[in-house]
Amino acid sequence: MAEAAYKHLNPPQRILLGPGPSNVHPRVQMAMLAPMVGHLDPYFVTIMEDTMELLRQVFRTKNKLTFPISGTGSAGMEASFCNFLEPGDTAIIGVNGLFGERMAENARRCGAKVIQLTAEWGKIIEPAAIKEALHNEKKVKLLALVHAETSTGVLQPLAEASRLAREHEALFLVDTVTSLGGHEVAVDDWGIDICYSGTQKCLSCPPGLAPLTVNEKALATLPKRTHQMASWYFDLSLLVGYWSSSRFYHHTAPISMVFALHEALALISDEGLEARTARHLKHGAALQAGLEAMGLTLHAEKNYRLSTLTTVRIPSGVDDLRVRQALLNKWNIEIGGGLGPLKGQIWRIGLMGYGSTAENVLLVLTALEKQLAEEGYKLTPGAGVAAASEVLRK
């Protein structure tokens, strides 16, 4: 018998503790095995309706237009910018990491004038800088911030920025890719007009959909556009017809992915948002206490650190790639390295969704201690696990 030209799929079972994707719950995996139906099948229509309502609960919004864009989190970003910016508009965008840079690039490609508010990678965008930028511009169409900057581990405060945006009649756009389902996100209470996320982080669903919610204030600007939307695929005026009761055909939705998202959101509903946020806070605090007890330095600004993604500086003399490869090959654990100016300077350790467990906290601290010791880094054996365990007991 002739040998098969290609190997059958047999991916390893990894413990994904990097910046994403995260491990998915068995119920989510099973949902992707559900029988295929048509994208306009009555059963799928009911799943679409349920998914929109579940997303409203997680976003904490009553926005009618709340649905998943067919594409990764970057598709949600692009849909958000290309619908609400056009040539002649001015956008103020906070850039304190890679994903702020990507937002600025999206805005420029829409033809907008971009006012880039830059902060050190690891610091927040200060409200004073936002206030000054809004004051200096005659008319600002949109203010955009990253809530959870995946490249730096920073949690950006939003309340004052939202107030300033309203005061200057600017739309407020927020990236919640690494916070939705892990940190508190309150779209309506915080006055967010446009908000997008991704499925592969704290929602613990495979990558491939980008949850999006848009309020009526933002939607009211679409008919006032003076330039036709450059993207047909991301045109919300067309997509709203598909995700409404009319079910006007636009594209074939990724049916199995919607099933998976539906199940992931149902799991969040079962757990409860408050309990889920508390779980992430507890495990993030335990990990950070353990890392500091090992003598390591956390990178993100104190009081503005994510619990879903911790950034820690790599000690002098320790080989970044060798440690990460050892964690993968010996312990089956994936963590992330630094990006941009932080490449080789930090590690990014994620505790997101299904992966945010006490067991994973203790495992990654144990493994990291062993690999650091092999690198010649001096530490007190067991100090990290002991400090984390103390937090977990409280």
- 110 and 212 fall within a common domain: yes
Handedness of CA 323, 327, 328, 333 (dihedral sign): negative
The mean pLDDT of the chain is 96
Residues 103 and 245 in one domain: yes
Same domain, 258 and 307: no
Domain limit, last residue, from 270, 290, 306:
270
End-of-domain residue from the set 230, 249, 270: 270
* Cα dihedral sign, 58-60-63-69: negative
Q: Is residue 2 part of a domain?
A: no
Element (H, E) at 368: helix 358-374
User: Do 264 and 278 lie in a common domain?
Assistant: no
| 187, 175 Cβ separation under 8 angstroms | no
256: in domain: yes
pLDDT at 134 exceeding the cut of 60: yes
Q: What is the pLDDT of residues 51-68, one digit of tens each?
A: 999 999 999 999 999 999
**Same domain membership, residue 358 and residue 286:** yes
3-state secondary structure of 349: strand
In a domain, 237, yes or no: yes
Give yes or no: residues 224 and 295 share one domain: no
Token pair in block for residue 297: 């330095």
No. of helices (H) and no. of strands (E), the chain: 13, 14
Q: Could you read off the pLDDT of 230-278 as tens digits, one per residue?
A: 999 999 999 988 888 777 888 989 999 999 999 999 999 999 999 999 9
Q: Convert the pLDDT of each residue in 345-381 to its tens digit.
A: 999 999 999 999 999 999 999 999 999 999 999 999 9
Examine the domain organization and report whether 282 and 350 are in the same domain: yes
Q: Report which of 371, 288, 382, 377 is spatially closest to residue 322, judged by C-alpha positions.
A: 371
Half-sphere exposure of 70 (CA within 13 A, CB side): 18
Last residue of a domain, one of 270, 297, 314: 270
Is residue 200 domain-shared with residue 64, that is, in the same domain? yes
Same domain, 320 and 227: no
248 and 298 co-located in one domain: no
Number of domains into which the chain is organized: 2
Is residue 109 classed as helix, strand or coil in its secondary structure? helix
Q: How many CB atoms lie within 10 A of CB 72?
A: 17
**The pTM is what?**
0.96
Based on the fold, state whether residues 209 and 320 are members of the same structural domain: no
- For residue 116, give the CATH number of its domain: 3.40.640.10
pLDDT digits (tens, 9 = 90+) for 19-42: 999 999 999 999 999 999 998 899
- CATH number at 361 reads 3.90.1150.10
Q: Are residues 171 and 288 both part of a single domain? A: no
C-alpha 245 chain-centroid distance = 29
Domain hosting 283: range is 273-393
pLDDT bin (cut points 50, 70, 90) of residue 6 is: confident
